[in-house]
């Protein structure tokens, strides 16, 4: 099956809509920058490696007030690291990055492995499982344990559902948007209670845990974070880790859709697995763009940027930029054998520097967890993919296969 048939009715529709919006316009105009209106608002759109480098220049762009209000009510929350600039951002970002040591990453992978084993025991008794739902559940258990967040047995479903609703509300209107708002409101109240308990000394998570670190973090002013903001930041660790389930589903989909790549993966070692995961992150859609505002007037490639202008960087389209990737619509993990590692070409989780800029704090977690999942899917498990609706629309944010990927006859490999 080709990418075009999976992602839409025709190549044209695929190129015209949704995730491919900026990519299509840029290619047609042969310009990495153009001005348009989106949801009634004027925006400047940036596409490609050079434009990404520009976008992460903090002299030229800032994040204050850049995130759409609807996303703040659902996906992101208010007062979090995403909307900070300069020293305030660097201090807050350091809090997140201090959780990303090799030891702590290994701990999370180990906790996740335990959850995979427990899930497999359950799956073996079921005729079929919905992979997206199952992996969200197991990642929720693992990341809460890792973050020092107590989860009672009966609570797992509720928390997982709230995280899933927040993730699924990104870019949604109507019922999905409101489900996301409700999920966020409930999760923030819960997270704020946890922060309060830690500060009161009635809950004592491990000192290296996210809950402890966030509850005791001192902001740029030297004060503890406001309880509500601390709750938002705790959710900024838990929610996106649950969101990694989507990449696990994409990895499973790639194994199913691209048997040649799956075969080469089976023959390769650790490096082949790493390249496979990079290609999953490059190939499949997740966040379409990142948003910022122009900090001061300047000109680039003949285009005038004026202070306060809303600007979108094309994440999906830059991962599919044929000038750099050559054959972006082909799933080909081997391309990463020769990738130069530029921080501005593979940008599903943002570009630039993790510590200095807004690049995703959880990128290493994401890569580790998807690699671990790939190990389970290929080496530990046997399963079949029954006939189902795997269609994925590039007009839905976030994109996902309609069936959420059903697996049947899941067994441990003998």
For residue 240, state whether it binds ligand HEM (rule: CB under 6 A): yes
β 303-305/298-300 pair status: antiparallel
Query: What's the closest the beta carbon of residue 258 comes to ligand HEM, in angstroms?
Result: 21
Q: How far is the CB of 361 from ligand HEM (least distance, A)?
A: 4
Residue 362 binds ligand HEM (CB under 6 A): yes
Q: Under the criterion CB under 6 A, does residue 404 sit at the interface with ligand HEM?
A: no
Q: Nearer to ligand HEM by C-beta: 161 or 251?
A: 251
Residue 163 vs 410, nearer CB to ligand HEM: 163
**Is residue 229 near ligand HEM by the rule CB under 6 A?**
no
Strand locations in 108-172, DSSP E? 128-130
Least Å distance between CB 239 and ligand HEM? 8
CB atoms within 10 A of CB 347: 27
21 sits near ligand HEM (criterion: CB under 6 A): no
Which residues contact residue 328 at a Cβ distance below 8 angstroms, ignoring those fewer than 6 apart? 282, 283, 319, 320, 321, 322
**What DSSP string runs through 86-110?**
HHHHHHHHHHHHTT--HHHHHHHHH
Shortest Cβ 237–ligand HEM spacing (Å)? 5
Please report, in range form, the residues annotated as the binding site for heme.
360
Stretch that binds ligand HEM, among 7-15, 148-156, 190-198, 343-351 (CB under 6 A): 343-351
- Copy the structure tokens of residue 321: 């930029």
The tokens describing 228, both together, are: 């509500």
How far apart (Å, rounded) are the C-alpha atoms in residues 156 and 399? 24
Site membership for ligand HEM, residue 209 (CB under 6 A): no
Binding mask 76-95 for ligand HEM (x = CB under 6 A): -----xx----------x--
Cα separation, 370 vs 83, in Å, equals 28
Interface with ligand HEM includes 349 (CB under 6 A)?
Answer: yes
Chain Cα centroid distance, residue 186: 21
Q: Under the criterion CB under 6 A, does residue 112 sit at the interface with ligand HEM?
A: no
Alpha-carbon distances of 64 from 78, 82, 84, 313, 337, rounded to whole Å: 11, 8, 6, 16, 38
Q: Tell me which of 286, 316, 336, 344 binds ligand HEM, using CB under 6 A.
A: 286
Q: What are the b/e assignments for 321-333, b being 16+ CB within 10 Å?
A: beebbeebeebbb
Instruction: Extract the annotated binding site.
Output: 360
Q: Which is nearer to ligand HEM, 95 or 410 (CB)?
A: 95
Interaction site with ligand HEM (CB under 6 A)? 81-82, 93, 96, 236-237, 240-241, 243-244, 247, 286-287, 290, 315, 348-350, 358-362, 365-366
């Amino acid at each position: 099956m080709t990418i075009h048939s999976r992602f839409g009715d025709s190549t044209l529709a695929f190129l015209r809509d949704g995730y491919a919006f900026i990519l299509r316009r840029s290619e047609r105009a042969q310009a990495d920058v153009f001005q348009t209106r989106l949801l009634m608002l004027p925006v400047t759109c940036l596409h490609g490696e050079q434009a990404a480098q520009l976008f992460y220049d903090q002299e030229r762009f800032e994040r204050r007030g850049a995130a759409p209000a609807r996303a703040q009510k659902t996906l992101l929350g208010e007062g979090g690291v995403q909307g900070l600039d300069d020293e305030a951002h660097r201090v807050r970002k350091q809090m997140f990055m201090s959780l990303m040591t090799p030891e702590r990453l290994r701990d999370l992978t180990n906790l996740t492995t335990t959850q995979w084993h427990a899930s497999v025991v359950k799956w073996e008794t079921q005729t079929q499982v919905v992979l997206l739902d199952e992996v969200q559940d197991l990642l929720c258990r693992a990341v809460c344990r890792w973050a020092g967040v107590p989860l009672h047995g009966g609570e797992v479903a509720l928390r997982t559902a709230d995280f899933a609703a927040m993730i699924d509300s990104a870019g949604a209107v109507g019922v999905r948007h409101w489900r996301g708002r409700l999920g966020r409101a409930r999760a923030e109240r819960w997270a704020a209670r946890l922060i309060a308990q830690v500060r009161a000394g009635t809950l004592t998570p491990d000192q290296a845990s996210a809950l402890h670190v966030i509850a005791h973090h001192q902001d740029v002013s030297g004060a503890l974070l406001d309880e509500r903001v601390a709750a938002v930041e705790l959710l900024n660790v838990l929610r996106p880790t649950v969101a990694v389930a989507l990449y696990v589903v994409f990895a499973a989909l790639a194994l199913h859709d691209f048997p040649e790549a799956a075969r080469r993966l089976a023959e390769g070692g650790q490096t082949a697995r790493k390249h496979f995961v990079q290609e999953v992150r490059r190939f499949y859609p997740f966040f379409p763009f990142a948003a910022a505002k122009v900090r001061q007037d300047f000109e680039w490639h003949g285009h005038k940027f004026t202070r306060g202008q809303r600007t979108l960087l094309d994440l999906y389209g830059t991962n599919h930029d044929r000038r750099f990737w050559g054959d972006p619509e082909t799933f080909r993990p081997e391309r990463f054998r020769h990738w130069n590692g530029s921080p501005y070409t593979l940008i599903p989780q943002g570009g630039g520097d993790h510590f200095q800029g807004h690049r995703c704090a959880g990128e290493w977690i994401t890569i580790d967890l998807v690699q671990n999942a790939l190990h389970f899917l290929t080496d530990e498990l046997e399963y079949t993919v029954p006939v189902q609706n795997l269609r994925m629309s590039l007009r839905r944010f976030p994109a996902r296969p309609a069936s959420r990927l059903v697996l049947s006859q899941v067994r441990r490999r003998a």
